[in-house]
Amino acid sequence: MKVAVLSGGGDAPGINAVIRAVVKKGIESYGYEMVGVRNGWQGLVENEFITLNLDEISGILPRGGSILGTSRTNPFKHKDGAQKILRNAKETGLGAVVVIGGEDTLGVAYKLCEMGLPCVGVPKTIDNDLLGTDYTFGFNTAVSIATDTLDRLHTTAESHQRVIILEVMGRYTGWIALEAGLAGGADAILIPEKPFDLDEVCNLIKQRQSRGKNFSVVVVAEGAKPKEGKEILYSNSTDEFGHVRFGGVGYYLGKEIEKRIDTETRVVVLGHLQRGGSPTPFDRILATRFGIAAIDLVHQGQFGRIVAIQGNEIVSVPLKDVVGKRKTVDMKLYETASVFFG
């Protein structure tokens, strides 16, 4: 059987580890012919494949990005996009597609699966906001980079007696902000799930100053918004899945804090540094386990499902239970982190 692998949406450290596992077990245990789809769903619309033999996957375990490329192409927004995919898959003789993606890419997989394309999903996003799995791969790497950044910001913030704001990714959920903030000892963590009150943030900083701590480090998720306001956007234009581009809440906060409490403030936007580069050992292992489980599902003919981790078990859940939903942060964990605010 010929089996394709594709990665769609924003990249996440560990995609190549998934590809390596899927291809290795697909060839050696099941005798499949493995092909890669270029640039996410776009490659299936445009019939762009590459051969994936053992040579192609050699040495890719620690490599960031995706050897296949990725895109935010939504075939349902292109004229006859879905039909072209079904036709191309048939003409190429694909027996299955392993789809590595987040909510958008897996949403497309669900619809195409309903239309007859046999898909198995692998949950990928640094945002960790997919339902059905405790963790997506890529998240641990992003948290680790953001934590290291917080450690570095602490030393300079303390030396200069400044407030430093770190803006991290997370448009609808604050997982990265929360876990990095907890691990990095942030003095306040602002997340999309809990609109913030600027006076409260300023009070936390003042509270520290009254204890002689003349520096503070605040982490904010890009999608966090003030209680009486809207999310701060970089641009109103939307991608093919209808997402606007977030960005700027860090600078908004910095200016407001300086205005309100006359304390020198600096802003750091972590941006794509938290998404690029080599995966952590945790993500390499998780991605590998996901890849093996995904090709096993293909072999068992269990389509329309994603692999997932629950506790320390690799399981699978139906795509229909995952798409169109979102896993928001654990508010108990937020309460734990908030013990250390101010």
Q: Which residues bind ligand F6P (CB under 6 A)?
A: 10, 125-127, 169-171, 222, 246, 275
Minimal distance in Å, beta carbon 279 to ligand F6P?
14
Query: Which conformational region is residue 138 in: left (phi greater than 0), alpha (psi within -120 to 50 degrees), or beta?
Result: left
Q: Which of 11, 55, 80, 127 is catalytic?
A: 127
Q: Which is nearer to ligand F6P, 94 or 232 (CB)?
A: 232
Minimal distance in Å, beta carbon 170 to ligand F6P?
5
Whole-angstrom Cα distance, residue 65 to residue 277? 7
Name the pairing type of β-strands 216-221 and 188-190.
parallel
Note if 55 is an active site residue: no
Q: Which is nearer to ligand F6P, 10 or 81 (CB)?
A: 10
Whole-angstrom Cα distance, residue 273 to residue 76? 31
Rounded (5°) CA angle 71-75-76: 135
Minimal distance in Å, beta carbon 102 to ligand F6P?
6
Whole-angstrom Cα distance, residue 184 to residue 177? 10
Q: Which is nearer to ligand F6P, 10 or 291 (CB)?
A: 10
The residue to which tokens 């996440």 are assigned: 12
Q: Which has the closest alpha carbon to 222: 257, 184, 190, 255?
A: 190
Minimal distance in Å, beta carbon 106 to ligand F6P?
13
Whole-angstrom Cα distance, residue 282 to residue 16? 14
Minimal distance in Å, beta carbon 131 to ligand F6P?
15
Q: Which is nearer to ligand F6P, 117 or 249 (CB)?
A: 249
Minimal distance in Å, beta carbon 123 to ligand F6P?
12
* Beta bridge partner(s), residue 6: 99
- Burial class for 91, CB neighbours closer than 10 Å (0-12, 13-18, 19+): exposed
Could you tell me the two tokens for 330?
């654990």
Q: Which is nearer to ligand F6P, 192 or 291 (CB)?
A: 192
Whole-angstrom Cα distance, residue 131 to residue 129? 6
Determine the residue with CB nearest ligand F6P: 10
Q: Which is nearer to ligand F6P, 102 or 226 (CB)?
A: 102
Chain-centroid distance, C-alpha 193 = 17
What residues are annotated to the active site? Answer: 127
